[in-house]
Structure 1
């Protein structure tokens, strides 16, 4: 059963690309890492919903931390105090010890003092028996979350070790907005078979980046594609969004679509993805790295 899950894309119901062994290995790892990331986020959302019910001080305490509920510091504190009543009784020494067990090395004293003040503030409480029961439920979710975090991190490490070995990795990573994880996802969906798509338009349609024009009599409409590779389309949205901060040409193109053409944010992002994936197809076919001035000559000239 596990082999069938890895062999088939359950989200888009598409099999793995029929490429070389390295390409297929990257596809398996990239998809597995994405599944693990989705699973981690789902369990994190369940834990957050439970904490809102009986432990709001924990949400306030971990809010300044990026991905607070997935951090080891939060896990150690939850184990030390699974209920707000126990958290309010934690001493500075106990808080510092929990932070050290999580691997924190800097700002331990100041962070322990901040956590102590948050936990000892006035918060609403459930009855004690109910609070204890919810604490046990939280610890059960915490076990699942820790396993999901470990799986996602281990698979991300495997992708980082495997993806750079692929011949197309240098070309893909030369594009703004594409890192190792996102680049591996893009490669996993488009494959490394040069003859898989007849031209760039085929790849754009497969990714759901190119629009559909429908005409009947004197009426015509342009709509986005509904039938597409959902994984590649999702990766493309993240790609286009990340490229706005790393590519002046991409940012200028996006602004032109918003200001001159009146596109909404999603439409402008999709148009930018359509252009970027067409350029990726060209670079892969001709074994060329991404060049900012070649990709966006008009946008760069206008920005200058």
Structure 2
């Protein structure tokens, strides 16, 4: 028997089919009418197979549902069916003349029946990794929101206060000192009227304690330079708009810093963090993002090549007849690929072998993105080996071409690019 579940915001439609394609039953589980939808679903399976109901696989399109997580935690086999494949099968199916939730549930069960071996089974990592993944994604969203609000603040300042944009060429507007000064002097008129002591108090509020007087004097001279100004009434309105954007940016910065601290604590509490952090240039943030996406269930990947394909660092080769085309792998774990690219870029400054490999590739006319991607393949293969065997990062094993006389045995093929 094979089961399919079509989900909605208020209910679940569940259908069961036999191996020969015969439909056995359907039930709709409404969230508002039950305390435990998983228990009702298991009772529905038990009704049709009292002895082997725990072996009935369930096909579902969205693997991130709370229902899927609770079902997998109870030991039930759950299979992910891609929504694109389901749409194609729905278009070609003649099981029903119109689309309905009940027909979709039977369609998913039938797809599971016909392609049970090729569809991926959902394997949940440990709760620690799941919590780490939640924090990593939340931190990524917080960083993106912070960048968007920073651009918004810059756009507002450009319209009436361009001197504030060029006041901190090294620190930038996101720095606490810049935000403290803008809060104290939100308009060109108020910035020009503020004395050195006022700038010093603002800088101290931004956690600056060294050379405060010199920096206050520099800012006072900078904001007193002649510049274009608008009408005072319009300037005050623009200042109010800027303070609103500044408050949103400050809240976003605090949120990102808080999530970064929580991500670091959650990452360091995992026993594998010591292995991931042994790679040069990988700290708590990048290490937490990598470990959250890779997980602690390496049995999901048959070998290091499968992990590279999952991360999207290996290209896809399309061949037809005498033509061959190589393109980027678009179906991949994009957060993991981004974290690996950042790790590769950081390793060029902290790893002698990575730095030498990067220089050698660039000397052979390879561009920067391709070189970073090839480094991502080597890092992924080395990471897979280290996590499988429990050993720490070895510079000579990871970059054997840069250490030809080391004599280090490489357990996996780390030289393929």
Asked whether the two chains share a fold, i.e. TM above 0.5, the reply is yes
- Measured after TM superposition, the shift of residue 231 of structure 1 is 0.7
Deviations 1:121-178 (A, max 9, x none): 1222222222211111101111111111111111111112221110110010011221
Cα deviation per residue 1:49-90 (whole Å; 9 max; x = unaligned)? 21112111111112232xx22222222212211111110111
Structure 1 position 292 matched with structure 2 position 395? yes
Segments of 5+ residues of structure 1 without an aligned counterpart are: 2-6
The answer for the alignment partner of 1:153 in structure 2 is 257
Alignment of 1:99 with 2:210, yes or no, is no
Tell me, in whole angstroms, the C-alpha distance in 2 between the residues paired with 1:17 and 1:183: 22
- Higher strand proportion (structure 1 or 2): 2
Match of 1:258 in 2: 362
User: Aligned runs of 1:5-154 on 2, under 5 Å?
Assistant: 18-65=124-171, 68-154=172-258
Q: Which has the greater radius of gyration?
A: 2
2:329 counterpart residue number: 225
Asked which structure has the greater RCO (Cα within 8 Å, sep 6+), the reply is 1
Matched, 1:212 2:322: no
Shift of 1:29: 1.2
Distance 2:311 2:157 in 1: 38
Specify the SS of the correspondent of 1:272.
Answer: helix
2:299 aligned counterpart, secondary structure: coil
Distance 1:220 1:213 in 2: 7
Whether the aligned pair in 2 keeps the contact of 1:79 and 1:139 (CA below 8 Å) is yes
Distance 2:379 2:143 in 1: 25
Helix, strand or coil at the partner of 2:131: helix
Return the offset for 1:301.
Answer: 4.2
Q: What is the Cα deviation at residue 25 of structure 1? A: 1.3
How many matched pairs? 288
Q: From the two aligned structures, give the one with the greater helix fraction.
A: 1
* Alpha-carbon separation, structure 2, partners of 1:63 and 1:178: 28
TM-score (norm 1): 0.90
User: Which of residues 331, 348, 353 in structure 2 aligns to 1:244?
Assistant: 348
Distance 1:173 1:270 in 2: 20
If the length of structure 2 is used for normalisation, what is the TM-score? 0.66
Task: State the SS of the aligned residue for 2:167.
Answer: helix
